[in-house]
Amino acid sequence: MSITKDEVIHVAKLARLKFTDEELEMYSHQLDNIIKYVDKLNELNTDDVEPTAHIVPISNVFREDEVMPSMDREKILMNAKEKEDGCFKVPKIIE
């Protein structure tokens, strides 16, 4: 498979990234190379193979339903650039 420039534009949008035309050229070219390389996986027949999402087979790891204190709001907000009235602030959203 190979990746087209239109696909790169679409993927960039999905990933919330913005590129100049020059960057688009570069990424299209490099991604195309990488995708051609990873396409070697298709040499393998994996029809009867189960995917492995977790390498160490553990299950049912839980936490008890016990309330612990939350963090001071000052600390919660300390790394935010825009804040107001104890909230994080973002550009106006029109719903």
Partner 1 sequence: MELHELKIHELHELLKNKEVSAVDVTKAYLERIKEVEPQVDALISITEEYALKKAEEADKMIQDGNINDLTGIPVIIKDNMCTENIRTTCASKMLEDFVPPYNATVVENLSNLGAVMVGKANLDEFAMGSSTENSAFKTTKNPWDLSRVPGGSSGGSAASVAADECAFSLGSDTGGSIRQPASLCGVVGMKPTYGLVSRYGLVAFASSLDQIGPLTKDVTDCAIVLNAIAGHDPKDSTSVDKMRKKDYKEFLKEDIKGIRIGYAKEFFGEGLDDGVRESIESSLKIFESLGAEIKEISLPYLDYALAAYYIVSSAEASSNLARYDGIRYGHVATNYEDLIDMYMVSRSEGFGKEVKRRIMLGTYALSSGYYDAYYNKALKVRTLIKKDYEKAFEDVDVIVGPTSPTTAFKIGERVEDPLAMYLADVYTVPVNIAGLPGLSLPCGLSNDLPVGLQIVGRHFDEGIVLNAAYAFEKACNFNAKPSFKGGAK
Partner 2 sequence: MNYEAVIGLEVHAELLTKTKIFCSCTTEFGGEPNTHVCPVCLGLPGTLPVLNKKVVEYAVKAGLALNCEISKFSKMDRKNYFYPDLPKAYQISQYDLPLCKNGYVEIETSDGVKKKIGLTRIHIEEDAGKLMHENIDGSLVDYNRTGVPLIEIVSEPDMRTPEEAYLYLTKLKSVLEYSEVSDCKMQEGSLRVDTNVSVRPVGSNEFGTKIELKNLNSFKAVQRALEYEIKRQIKLIENGEKIVQETRRWNEQKGVTESMRSKEEAHDYRYFPEPDLVPIIVSDEWKEEIRKSLPEMPEHKKERFVSQYGIPEYDASIITSSKPLADFFEKCALEYSSAKTISNWIMGEMMRLLKDTGKEIDEVPIKPHQMASLLNLIDNGTITGSIAKTVFEEMFMTGKNPDDIVEEKGLKQLSNEDELREIAVKVIKDNPKSVEDYKNGKEKALGFLVGQMMKATKGKANPQLANKLLREELSK
Phi, psi of 84 (to 5 degrees): -160, 135
Distance, first Cα to last Cα, the chain: 39
Under the binding rule (CB under 8 A), the answer on residue 63 touching partner 2 is yes
What token pair was written down for 34? 């990488």
* Among partner 1, partner 2, none, partner that 73 touches (CB below 5 to 8 angstroms by kind): partner 2
> Is 87 an interacting residue with respect to partner 1 (CB under 8 A)?
no
With b meaning 16 or more CB within 10 Å and e meaning fewer, what string describes 25-40? eebbeeebeeeeeeee
Are the C-beta atoms of 21 and 5 separated by less than 8 Å?
no
Binding status of residue 34 toward partner 1 by CB under 8 A: yes
Instruction: List interacting residues with partner 2 (CB under 8 A).
Output: 13-14, 16, 53-54, 58-68, 70-71, 73, 76-77, 82, 84-93, 95
Instruction: List interacting residues with partner 1 (CB under 8 A).
Output: 1, 3, 7-8, 10-12, 14-19, 27, 30-31, 33-35, 37-44, 46, 49-56, 58, 61, 63, 71, 75-76, 78-82, 88, 90-93
